[in-house]
Amino acid sequence: MTLLVIGLSHRSAPIDMLERTTLDQPRSRALRDRLAATQQVREAVVVTTCNRTEVYADVVTFHGGVTEIGQAIAEVTDVDALTLRDHLYVHHEDRAVSHTFSVACGLDSMAIGESQILGQLRSSLRQAQTGQEVGPELNALFQRALRVGKRAHTETEIDDVSLSLVSAGLDEAETVLGPLAGLSVMVVGAGAMSSLAVATVTRAGAREVVIANRTEAKARHLAEAYAARTVPWSHREEALAAADVVITCTGAAGRLVSREAAERTAVLRGRRPQVYLDLALPLDVDPAVAEVDGVTVVGLQRLGELMAADGLVPAQVQQVRDLVVEEVAGYLAARRVQAVAPTLAALRSRARSVVEAELQRFDTRTPDVDEATRRQVELTVHRVVEKILHTPTVRMKEMAGTDVSGSYAEALHRLFDLDPHTVAAVSAATVDPPVDLAEPTPVLEADPAAEGTDTTEPGLNEPGTPELASTGTPEPTSPEPNHPTDLALETTGARHA
């Protein structure tokens, strides 16, 4: 198995490229179908959000998987592969796990620490489970990632950092309009980012906060929480004229505010200064709106530049990074132990079949032996086999995750003539059923990858076998922004991070 993450995000691509590659439901479905038809991809989960399009996959080979996934993304998004390759990043094995956990914690989001990504990951996994496109590798990875993301929000103060994007935009607005206190603010949308915006401007003392959303019930619910008022979606353009600051957070297809609408609004306002803060992707506000006299547009690209220039890493972010490093180390250690479990189970299965055959031979040759003697012979044989298998079993677990574990497993295969089909069958039998993702924030208690579930078959237990305390796994590197190497890959040209 080879774990890959291939995609592009606000860290690797400009806004216009992200808009071109954002997937709606039909295109997301098309990409999943395209991946299912490839030769290299065994499992796949497609994650598409307002600032990322990514494929998480278990593939047969690294280069083959990168090539086929890159081609699939290019075909579905209708972006030339040569153009796309300059913006794609590739994370492989350990770094793929680290990236997944970082995404779940909101560390890779444009609004650092935002929790909406958990719901998006959950939805992506649910779709893959429904389409039977996910198996043991990605199911375990995403279950663990969801749990890590939940830990980040419950055990650290990362939620405070998610306000930084909104705050940076409002700081820009204040440079044009002066303090927010006394100004009128209109928020278009009622999602997580809109809630942050409403909370922030309310605390800043905005004179009036108006919310417009396609689903009016959601707008009313948000407005009631902050003593704001709502306007019908059909009347949103009229409400623009009364707003000094307009914050858009819908990411809907097409532009919600055109240049013509902004021009009409500016005339009604007598050209008084107005700021549009566009936090959506795809963009809600036509970039041409910035050409209207008296209007300033602040978009995600500008905000990204401002936050990058700041260069400060809040303590909360470092807390979550440390948590991710800890979780990645634990996951990789358990994953390596789980990788050798089928070999151990097959070894015990082989031993059991030998014991059963010899006991049948004993019964045939000594039919007159009484039951008590027969049971004593059976117990003795089992004890002998236990003692013989105990040491190689313990050594196998101790060596899991080391450079020689693979050769040791191969040696066991050869020495004990283990049937590859038996090993594969045992491996398949240890797969967990898909997680129930109905709840908005599930507590995923059963996670074999996390707990290092012992898949040893019953019947030949290991009395006194010590628990695997340490695999000697090197501490993984702390997640960082995309740093691709110079390894150019065919067709997609994606770079191995």
Catalytic residue chosen out of the listed positions 50, 121, 300, 412? 50
Distances in Å between the Cα of 462 and the Cα atoms of 386, 388, 392, 454 are 7, 11, 11, 11
* Amino acid in the structure at residue 212: A
Phi, psi for residue 156 in degrees, rounded to 5:
-130, 180
* Amino acid in the structure at residue 84: L
**Cβ 287 vs Cβ 258: under 8 Å:** no
Phi, psi for residue 5 in degrees, rounded to 5:
-125, 125
**Cβ 170 vs Cβ 277: under 8 Å:** yes
Dist. CA 420–CA 339, nearest whole Å: 14
Dist. CA 147–CA 156, nearest whole Å: 14
Q: Tell me if residue 50 is catalytic.
A: yes
Dist. CA 435–CA 451, nearest whole Å: 16
Could you give the 3-state DSSP secondary structure of residue 492? coil
Compute the half-sphere exposure of residue 13: CA atoms within 13 Å on the CB side of its CA: 26
Of 169, 235, 237, 178, nearest to 206 by C-alpha is 178
Rg of the chain over all Cα atoms, to the nearest angstrom: 28
Give the active site residues: 50
